[in-house]
């Protein structure tokens, strides 16, 4: 199936949940997709196919839904998996980056030895919205001397202009709204 045909199919499976977690937000619920083995497997092949020649040695999954996509992509690419977590969850020496939320700030962390200088890294999450989260992860990778080979997102909310914050990055999103 072509990427376009597959994307149309996936769009019918993702569930819109209005007013979650708060009024005015339409939450993109990917759980129906995860529970469909054939569709989930094909989705992982699409992402891995796009980045197969990028020389990726580490795949970073962003807490928490990013973990679910990053792990099978890492296996498919023959790369290591690195969890990016909310502040205070990781046990070992970590680096951090903060980013602005609608109200206040949030901080993400990853282990300081998870990416070696020069390593090529793929960043994975379920939704690209304003781009603040992915931007913070890019800055952590670069603090450690890693190279951001690409950003893979299942869903891109284009009206929030996340790409502007991530100018110059190779962003591959399967579905756009
Ligand atoms: P942002 O930093 O604005 O790009 O937001 C991205 C993060 O927020 C991702 O980790 C997403 O999982 C989550 N997110 C933002 N908007 C939505 C949405 N409409 N539905 C589900 N998750 C969302």
Which domain does 68 fall in, by range? 53-176
Task: Name the closest-CA residue to atom 18, ligand 1.
Answer: 27
Q: Any catalytic annotation for residue 102?
A: yes
pLDDT at residue 43 in the model: 97
Is residue 59 one of the residues assigned to a domain? yes
Give the C-alpha distances (Å, rounded to integers) separating 141 from 34, 56, 116, 154, 173: 28, 13, 9, 21, 20
CA of 125 to the centre of ligand 1 (A): 9
Is residue 10 one of the residues assigned to a domain? no
Is residue 46 one of the residues assigned to a domain? no
pLDDT at residue 88 in the model: 98
Is residue 64 one of the residues assigned to a domain? yes
Give the CATH number for residue 114: 3.40.50.2020
Could you read off the pLDDT of 129-146 as tens digits, one per residue? 999 999 999 999 999 999
Percent of the chain at pLDDT > 90 equals: 95
Instruction: Give one DSSP letter per residue of 5-54, joined into a string.
Output: HHHHHHHHHSEEEET-SSTT-EEEE-HHHHT-HHHHHHHHHHHHHHHGGG
| pLDDT over 90 (residue 40) | yes
Is residue 153 one of the residues assigned to a domain? yes
**Nearest atom of ligand 1 to the alpha carbon of 30:** 21
| pLDDT over 80 (residue 102) | no
Percent of the chain at pLDDT > 70 equals: 100
Is residue 6 one of the residues assigned to a domain? no
Could you read off the pLDDT of 54-89 as tens digits, one per residue? 999 999 999 999 999 999 999 999 999 999 999 999
Task: Name the closest-CA residue to atom 15, ligand 1.
Answer: 129
Instruction: State how many domains the chain has.
Output: 1
Let me know: does 105 contact 99? Beta carbons within 8 Å: yes
pLDDT at residue 57 in the model: 98
| Confidence (pTM) | 0.97
CA of 127 to the centre of ligand 1 (A): 5
Query: pLDDT class for 103, splitting at 50, 70, 90?
Result: confident
State whether the beta carbon of 177 lies less than 6 angstroms from ligand 1: no
Is residue 80 one of the residues assigned to a domain? yes
Residue/partner pairs of 153-156 with CB below 8 Å, 24 or more apart: 153/124, 153/125, 153/126, 153/127, 153/128, 154/10, 154/30, 154/33, 154/43, 154/69, 154/125, 154/126, 154/127, 155/14, 155/28, 155/30, 155/126, 155/127, 155/128, 156/127, 156/128
| pLDDT over 90 (residue 10) | yes
């Amino acid at each position: 199936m072509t990427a376009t045909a597959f994307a149309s199919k996936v769009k019918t499976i993702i569930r819109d949940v209005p007013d979650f977690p708060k009024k005015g937000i339409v939450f993109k619920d990917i759980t129906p997709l995860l529970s469909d083995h054939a569709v989930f497997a094909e989705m992982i092949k699409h992402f891995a196919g796009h980045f197969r020649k990028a020389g990726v040695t580490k795949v970073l999954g962003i807490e928490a839904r990013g973990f679910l996509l990053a792990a099978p992509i890492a296996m498919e690419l023959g790369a290591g998996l690195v969890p990016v977590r909310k502040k205070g969850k990781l046990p070992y020496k970590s680096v951090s980056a903060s980013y602005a939320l609608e109200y206040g700030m949030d901080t993400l962390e990853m282990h300081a030895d998870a990416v070696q200088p020069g390593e090529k890294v793929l960043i994975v999450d379920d939704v690209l919205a304003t781009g603040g989260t992915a931007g913070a992860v890019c800055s952590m990778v670069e603090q450690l001397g890693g190279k951001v080979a690409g950003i893979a997102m299942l869903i891109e909310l284009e009206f929030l202009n996340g790409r502007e914050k991530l100018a110059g990055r190779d962003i591959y999103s399967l579905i756009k709204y």
